[in-house]
Amino acid sequence: MITNAIGERVLLNDGNQIPQLGLGVWRANDGEETYQAVRWALEAGYRSIDTASLYANEASVGKAFHDSELSREEVFITTKVWNPDQGYDKTLAAFEKSLKLLDLEYVDMYLAHYPVTGKYLDTWKALERLQEEKLVRSIGVSNFHIHHLETLLAHANVKPVVNQIELHPYLSQKALIAYHKEHDILTEAWAPIAKGRVLGEDIIVELSEKYGKTPAQIVLRWELQQGIIIIPKSVHQKRIQENCNIYDFALTEEEMKRIDTLECDGRIGTDPDKMVYDD
Ligand SMILES: NC(=O)c1ccc[n+]([C@@H]2O[C@H](COP(=O)([O-])OP(=O)(O)OC[C@H]3O[C@@H](n4cnc5c(N)ncnc54)[C@H](OP(=O)(O)O)[C@@H]3O)[C@@H](O)[C@H]2O)c1
């Protein structure tokens, strides 16, 4: 499944649809910086925004959406429950806070940010309840390994629609992607351009010259063609426009495979199994 135009949606396992491309806002400051980035993204044609309570910028995301004059149905908004807020009651309370900050009546997708040991099954029960109450349209997870998904699937009433994971050419996550496919879960990539670190690689630069595209566009296209949902972050208008201008060329199978060879288990973030979860 690959979309052909910015804003185009892919089908989730619960029947809802999510744009394959969105704007990420991690480390975008609350206030003018996030507000402006979201406004520019919506103007450029993005129809999905990925925030989290951790990012402390939900209010600016909500304000930018409201000022955009786009209808609620047109824009897909994701937020996440942060680690210390996990567990059943705390997740419900955290969600209420997020919804208020976003100034929305419902959230399109709510994710468990990490598989917090001893808590993520209770968190999931809370997400199922929020979906039942129609406060959330779709529920999913983030940073889950296969073993977390196995445990979750053994206990859940509702399957996660996505697993949002670190994914880029240095960490291509082939085994996890295969598991997702087997279970009808979509893969969503965070740090899709490896926070810029992969952009100087010879193969990326070579393809960028061949296609007259930027290195970031080559990497994002490599993900798009795998059917992965991408949420590149930028607070600069030029880059926001650049990152969505990836629908007018296609990499060949051979070029896709050459980018695959950059895999080096190059994780930037903390391995979810090594994460320390404080109460
Ligand atoms: N679920 C999770 O645990 C988790 C973890 C991390 C991130 N995320 C989500 O995923 C989103 C994306 O991940 P990320 O922000 O970590 O990394 P990323 O999107 O791979 O990279 C963002 C960095 O690259 C720069 N950049 C953006 N476009 C560029 C371009 N065209 N050329 C060169 N540099 C460019 C940005 O700088 P400027 O802003 O200065 O342009 C920023 O420093 C986040 O914003 C967040 O929504 C989720």
pLDDT in tens, 47-88: 999 999 999 999 999 999 999 989 999 999 999 999 999 999
Which residue of 145, 171, 193 sits with most ligand 1 atoms within 8 Å of its CB, as the best mutation to test the pocket? 193
Q: Which atom of ligand 1 is nearest to the CA of 193?
A: 20
Residue 146 pLDDT exceeds 80 = yes
Share of the chain above pLDDT 70, in %: 100
Average pLDDT, rounded, for the chain: 97
| pTM exceeds 0.95, yes or no | yes
Q: Which atom of ligand 1 is nearest to the CA of 242?
A: 31
**Maximum CA pair distance of the chain?**
54
Confidence of residue 239 (pLDDT cuts 50, 70, 90): very high
Which residue of 81, 223, 233 sits with most ligand 1 atoms within 8 Å of its CB, as the best mutation to test the pocket? 233
Q: Which of 75, 115, 121, 79 is nearest to 100 (CA)?
A: 79
Residue nearest to atom 26 of ligand 1 (CA): 234
How far is the C-alpha of 49 from the C-alpha of 70, rounded, in Å?
A: 13
| 118 CA to centre of ligand 1 in angstroms | 30
What is the reported pLDDT for 35? 98
Which one from 35, 46, 55, 170 is the annotated catalytic residue? 55
- DSSP letter, residue 53: G
The token pair that represents 172 in the structure block: 């291509």
Residue nearest to atom 27 of ligand 1 (CA): 234
What is the reported pLDDT for 277? 87
Q: Report the Cα 214 to chain-centroid distance in Å.
A: 22
Query: Which CA distances in Å does 274 have to 44, 55, 67, 116, 145?
Result: 38, 21, 41, 11, 12
Q: Is 128 exposed, middle or buried (0-12, 13-18, 19+ CB in 10 A)?
A: middle
| 119 CA to centre of ligand 1 in angstroms | 28
35 is catalytic: no
Which residue of 33, 82, 144, 190 sits with most ligand 1 atoms within 8 Å of its CB, as the best mutation to test the pocket? 190
- Average pLDDT, stretch 248-275? 97
The token pair that represents 23 in the structure block: 């704007």
Q: Which residues line ligand 1 (CB under 6 A)?
A: 24-26, 50, 113, 142-143, 164, 190-196, 214, 216, 231-236, 239, 242-243
